[in-house]
Chain A
């Protein structure tokens, strides 16, 4: 192991212990580690953007000014300048131009993307689950496929009803509909399972990270 690698390991050990100090609260050591991480990340990101974005996409095209590519390069450059101007004058209307342009594009992309990428495919997935070809197997009913299709449909409807029922719960308190509460409870079961799976995944990911860094420390100690 070279000296550089050893120093890097030592630095990693110190930073890891500083992060572990968060168990004792928001201490100074934890703050130093966080500021170090943020500062290093910001500096690295700035260098990457300068090398990969600003210079090749905004500055370099200006060298061929009379050409169309140079004129087109002025558009993002002007918008970028207006966006930077927002740092000095927050109430500037000119700075709203790139923001409005960006916001409009993002909103439109999100709406179209959610429709095309999530809603329609998921609805088609539910409909396809009731395809006779999938509900039969060799001329016999595919009970697992049938059960899965109906559970999928029931899960979707009940989960959607949970949010509707919770929204109008005050109005529905005047009328005691036990079957509505039952449907809502059925949907809450699906939601609970989903959140439970997410929590397990979150804990599993965190646990893997913890084991990896403890293993790293143990390996570092074993070197001596």
Chain B
């Protein structure tokens, strides 16, 4: 808004003086922008025409501020005054200003009649701007999406090309991938065979007269490369071909100039491009293949598991007809993506149809994955096996009781104390006599022994060790003496070779064991069960010097054994077959508690066990061990046990108190 609205305004374009309220120059029609210079509004933006046009958006705000501006209200008021008193205005104004155009008058008139005209205009401008902005945004978005789409497609194409290049770089001149070469290096024996097999089909297809140079030339022609000049050295040509073959071009790079068929000796021979050896083995699995474990596996295993894709198979995967068709399609100008999609669509129905055998079909990741998992499993097993080998010789089970030096010393002290006590008891004083109450089992044994009459057959079974002879032999000697007094028919047998010479103490020195029973308890069982056959004698009968029927006419059996198991086995195996025979036992103190139930059940007529039952048989003291030493030894052991129990209780109490404290 100008500071002097009543002054004339000079058109900046033509210099014509205009009224202060005119919008345009009356001569040239140039807009007089200064009219719209408002307070607080950036005048620079209004002066700059280009910038002003770019900032059309706040037009509605400008118009709205015009309505509210008091200056504009004054201006309108002045205009009304001027309209009401035209004579006054005409005096002060030039002629040109007096004759204002009709359109301006209409505008002014309409502005008087419609107070919100500016608002309507603002609304229309805003709506127009919105409509234009929406259309513009839509176009911009579409263009942006299209650009993004193109960029993505280009990236995908670029990735596919890079993948092919990387894979092709891993393939050598023979078409073998790097991982396969590593395996073959580990198996040089198989390498030759595999190498020969690989080219067997090629040699079958191609005439034997084809030379290497011809094949390379044919390959160069196939790949669209210029033919090798004859004057070039062979080495250079080979290097070029080798380089090119090692990096076979992708379909994008192939320029097919002629059909890939050549007539040679009236045979259509198709030289195909080197197949791409694509393997789906991850990097970590390649490490597995490079380990020593995989080196031990023969190459046939890899081939059988489908890990090695033979070139023949790859040749079958890429059949020449398809290559020709694809090449022709490419010539017709199809894009790379369309070309690849077409090949993929051609291969897909074959794979789904199952027309080709499984060996011919390319191996997918899903097919190879189980094999890779198997290899991984083998690797894990190898690691476990190596760990087991490493742990060989080490202690795998924790020792339940670690013997400490302190316990060794305590054991030594206890043993020496016991030996010293026994020694002193033997050296000092008399041997004494044990006056223990007779047990029921011992009484039963004596009663049964006394019941044996004359001429009754008694079988004595010896089965004890030398270590327990002092606990058993006094009782056995006394029993034999009683039987001898009764004139009983005593027969002594054993199945333990040791008792053959131990019996010399029990029996008369000139008397030996009557029979040796081979087979232990099974021998006794055979004799108890078996009968003499009509056709002869059993092999075990050959072992007897006398009557082989061990149990015939037998009334009593006395088992002299230090083993409760032997007595129990006898009662379980032999006695049920010979139920009319009474059985009793002379055993040690250890076996007595175990055999007591058999005495209660009536299976044993009586039991005498060790030194405690010596009184029942009235064994002479001189035939027994030193009774005083026995008492001293038992007393020492009782003291040690009581002390041990007290110390253990004290340790437990201290541990519990410490646990409560914690």
Which residue in B412, B501, B611 is a CB contact (below 8 Å) of A24? B412
Q: B537 near A208 (CB under 8 angstroms)?
A: no
Would you give the shortest CB distance from B123 to chain A, in whole angstroms? 82
Most buried by B among A25, A44, A117: A117
Q: Is the CB of B590 within 8 A of A202?
A: yes
A52 B518 Cβ-Cβ under 8 A: yes
Residues of chain A contacted by B216 (CB below 8 angstroms): none
A218 and B423 in contact, given A105-B522, A208-B610 (Cβ under 8 angstroms): yes
Q: Check B571 for interface membership: any CB of A closer than 8 A.
A: yes
Chain B 410-427: CB-based contact to A (< 8 A → 1; otherwise 0): 011001101100110011
Q: Is A57 in contact with B540, judged by CB distance below 8 angstroms?
A: yes
Give residues 76-128 of A contacting B (CB, 8 Å).
76, 105-106, 109-110, 113-114, 116-118, 121-122, 124-125
Give the distance in Å from the alpha carbon of A122 to the alpha carbon of B575 in the complex. 15
B539 pairs with A73, CB closer than 8 A: yes
Within 8 A of B (CB), among A151-210: 194, 197-198, 200-205, 207-210
B398 within 8 A of A: no
User: Closest approach, in angstroms, between the C-beta of B303 and any C-beta of chain A?
Assistant: 33
Give complex CA distance A113, B562 in Å. 21
User: Does A114 lie within 8 Å of B572, measured CB to CB?
Assistant: yes
Query: Given A48-B500, A60-B542, A117-B575, does the pair A198, B593 have CB atoms closer than 8 Å?
Result: yes
Interfacial chain B residues near A125, Cβ < 8 Å: 597, 600-602
- Asked whether any CB of chain B lies closer than 8 Å to the CB of A67, the reply is yes
Tell me the bound Cα distance from A121 to B600 in angstroms: 10
B498 within 8 A of A: yes
* B contacts with A, residue count (CB < 8 A): 63
Verify A113–B634 contact, CB threshold 8 A.
Answer: no
Q: Is the CB of B593 within 8 A of A203?
A: no
Nearest Cβ in chain B — how far from A42, in angstroms?
10
Contacts A125-B600, A125-B601, A198-B593; is A204 near B634 (CB within 8 Å)?
A: yes
Contact A210 B418 (CB under 8 A): yes
Known: A67-B536, A68-B536. Is A197-B626 also a contact (CB below 8 A)? no
Cβ–Cβ contact B572 & A214, under 8 A: no
Contact of B610 among A60, A67, A76, A205 (CB under 8 A): A205
Is B241 located at the chain interface by the 8 A CB criterion? no
Are A209 and B468 interface neighbours, CB within 8 A?
A: yes
Contacts of A76 in B (CB 8 A): 539
Residues of A within 8 A of B471 (CB): 204-205, 208-209
Q: Which residues from 418 to 458 on chain B have a C-beta closer than 8 Å to any C-beta of chain A?
A: 418-419, 422-423, 426-427
Question: A122 and B593: CB pair below 8 A?
Answer: no
CB distance from A158 to the nearest CB of B (A): 16
Residue on B nearest A72 in the bound complex, by CB = B539
A218 touches which of B427, B588, B612 (Cβ 8 Å) = B427
Residues on B with beta carbons closer than 8 Å to the beta carbon of A56: 542-543
**Which B residues lie within 8 Å of A118 (CB)?**
568, 571-572
Judge whether B610 and A53 touch: CB under 8 Å: no
Shortest Cβ distance from residue B622 to the other chain A in the assembled complex, whole angstroms:
12
Residue A133 interfacial (CB < 8 Å): no
B153-172 residues with Cβ-Cβ distance < 8 A to A are: none
B518 in contact with A49 (CB, 8 Å) = yes
Tell me the count of chain A residues lying within 8 A, CB to CB, of chain B: 52
Residues of chain A within 8 A (CB-CB) of B525 are 109
Query: Is A45 part of the contact surface with B, judged by Cβ < 8 Å?
Result: yes
Nearest A residue to B569, CB-CB: A113
* B501-543 with Cβ < 8 A to chain A: 501, 516, 518, 522, 525, 535-540, 542-543
Contact partner of A205 (CB less than 8 A), chosen from B468, B540, B629, is B468
B589/A200 in contact, CB under 8 A: yes
A-chain residues with CB within 8 Å of residue B594 when the two chains form the complex: 198
Q: Which residues of B contact A23 (CB under 8 A)?
A: 411-412, 415-416
Interchain nearest-CB distance for B614 vs A (Å) = 11
Please, which residues of chain A bring their CB within 8 A of the CB of B500?
48
Contact of B593 among A197, A205, A214 (CB under 8 A): A197
Residue in B516, B538, B603, B630 whose beta carbon sits within 8 Å of that of A48 in the complex:
B516
Instruction: Give which listed residue, A49, A106, A205, A215, contacts B426 with CB less than 8 A.
Output: A215
Q: Is the CB of A136 closer than 8 A to any CB of chain B?
A: no
Shortest Cβ distance from residue B564 to the other chain A in the assembled complex, whole angstroms: 9
Residues of B within 8 A of A27 (CB): none
> What's the Cα separation between A106 and B602 when bound, in Å?
26
Instruction: Name which residue of chain A comes closest to B431, CB basis.
Output: A215
Residue in B538, B571, B637 whose beta carbon sits within 8 Å of that of A117 in the complex:
B571
- B8-47 with Cβ < 8 A to chain A: none
* Cα distance A99–B602 in the bound complex, in angstroms: 36
A202 to B591, CA, bound (A): 8
Contact between A121 and B634, CB atoms less than 8 A apart: no
B537/A214 in contact, CB under 8 A: no
> Closest CB-CB distance, A110 to chain B, in whole Å?
8
A208 to B538 Cα, complex, angstroms = 43
Complex interface residues of chain A between 41 and 64 (CB less than 8 A to chain B): 41, 44-45, 48-49, 52-53, 56-58, 60-61
- Report the minimal beta-carbon distance from B198 to chain A, rounded to whole angstroms: 42
Q: Mark B386-424, 1 if CB is under 8 A from A, else 0.
A: 000000000000000000000010011001101100110
CA distance A114 to B576 in the complex (A): 11
Contacts of A215 in B (CB 8 A): 426, 625-626, 629
Report the Cα distance A214→B575, complex, angstroms.
40
Q: Which A residues lie within 8 Å of B498 (CB)?
A: 41, 44
- Contact between A208 and B630, CB atoms less than 8 A apart: yes
Does A212 contact B610, Cβ atoms closer than 8 Å?
Answer: no
Q: B422, B543, B588, B593: which contacts A53 (Cβ < 8 A)?
A: B543
Q: Out of A52, A109, A116, A205, name the residue touching B589 (CB < 8 Å).
A: A205
Q: Smallest CB–CB gap between A112 and chain B, Å?
A: 8
Question: What 1/0 flags go to A209-221 for Cβ under 8 Å of B?
Answer: 1111011001000
Give 17 CB contacts A-B under 8 Å.
A23-B416, A44-B501, A48-B500, A52-B543, A68-B535, A72-B536, A73-B539, A110-B572, A113-B572, A117-B568, A197-B592, A200-B589, A201-B592, A204-B589, A204-B612, A209-B471, A215-B629
Binding site for B on A (CB under 8 A): 23-25, 41, 44-45, 48-49, 52-53, 56-58, 60-61, 67-69, 72-73, 76, 105-106, 109-110, 113-114, 116-118, 121-122, 124-125, 194, 197-198, 200-205, 207-212, 214-215, 218
Contacts A48-B500, A76-B539, A125-B602 known; list 14 others, CB within 8 Å: A57-B540, A69-B539, A113-B573, A117-B576, A121-B602, A125-B597, A197-B593, A198-B590, A201-B588, A201-B590, A201-B591, A208-B610, A210-B418, A214-B423
